[in-house]
Amino acid sequence: MRVLIVGEVPVVDTLAGLCRARNHKVDLFLADDLTDQEILDKMVRAASRCQIALESLNESREGKQWLVEGVEANLPAEAILLTNALAASATEVASWAEHPERVVGYGLLPPISVTGLVEFAPALQTEFEVAARARRFWEELGFGVVRVPDAAGLVRPRMVCAVINETVQVMVAHNLTVETVDTAVQLGLNYPRGPLAWADEIGLDVVVGTLEALWRTWGDERYHPAPLLRQKVFAGHLGRKTGRGFYTYEKTAAADAT
């Protein structure tokens, strides 16, 4: 099977590795490279010959819409589009598509493990057979699949990003260090990692994009992105992928697009 994967690291390069391990032909494009017209043209050509397109761009609703419209319009008739439904619901994403019936939502947050779960959320417009194909694809990659209602942020991303946002608010309000608040939450609540370390793993731009979608959808102030989160994004301190977020990292090169 030929799979087009496009969006932000570390989700897309991890998924590319999992697909290649199962002998799928992968065309991988990183969102940061799509300002180059030559690469954009290559992505369009790749879209025209794939059977499955995987999209994960959640830095903003506007960026996601631009990407989805560009990819979906060039897909073959039999291809389906899987969208990581954080910055917009699958139903909203489908409304941008020429063929909304072939859009299916999923939910993944880094770190991604093939032994873990993927949230599966067909849009209201999704055809039954398309949803069945999407589910089989995730199962063939080795994921456990749990069906959840379609909404921006789905379930796990909604909860994790809300915890990250509250952690930042508490840290600032009480003048705590990053290490102190992460340790308190990780050990006190038996979390797998501190929320701010987790935010760095996800990408602070993705956290903000998801929170903005939740705020837009539910109108609840707990989803209003903390000012410090926004400031970090403005500064380009996005976490592991840029080498600096709440912590500092040795920046590693992302997988090359092919």
The CATH number given to whatever domain includes residue 100 is 3.40.50.720
Query: Which pairs count as long-range contacts for 130-138, CB under 8 Å and 24+ apart, including other chains?
Result: 130/80, 130/101, 130/102, 130/104, 131/104, 133/80, 134/80, 134/82, 134/104, 134/106, 137/52, 137/82, 138/106
- Residue 80's pLDDT is what? 98
Establish if 66 belongs to a structural domain: yes
Residue 196 sits in a domain whose CATH number is 1.10.1040.50
Amino acid identity of residue 221, one-letter, is: E
C-alpha separations of 54 from 3, 85, 167 in Å:
7, 11, 31
Strands 103-107 and 144-147: unpaired
- Residue 77, classified by CB atoms within 10 Å of its CB into exposed (0-12), middle (13-18) or buried (19+), is exposed
Question: Do 191 and 69 share a domain, yes or no?
Answer: no
For the chain, what is the domain count? 2
**Residues 177, 96 share a domain:** no
Predicted local confidence at residue 255, as pLDDT = 40
Which of 95, 124, 147 is a domain's end point? Answer: 147
What is the pLDDT at residue 257?
Answer: 39
| CA distance linking residue 220 with residue 231, whole number of Å | 21
Is 72 within 8 Å of 99 (Cβ atoms)? yes
Mean pLDDT by 10 residues, the chain (258 residues): 96 95 97 94 97 97 96 97 98 98 96 86 98 97 96 96 97 97 94 95 97 96 97 97 95 46
What per-residue confidence (pLDDT) applies to 113?
A: 78
Under 8 Å between Cβ of 257 and 39? yes
The CA-atom distances, in angstroms, between 124 and each of 36, 103, 150 are 34, 9, 8
**What domain range is 161 assigned to?**
156-242
Both tokens of residue 98?
């020429």
| Alpha-carbon span 164 to 117, nearest angstrom | 20
Predicted pLDDT of residue 250: 85
Q: Are residues 136 and 160 in the same domain?
A: no
Q: Residue 198: CB partners within 8 Å, gap ≥ 6?
A: 160, 164, 191, 192
Residue-level pLDDT at 116 = 86
pLDDT score recorded for residue 252: 54
pLDDT at 251: 64
Among 97, 127, 147, which residue terminates a domain?
Answer: 147
User: Same domain for 110 and 129?
Assistant: yes
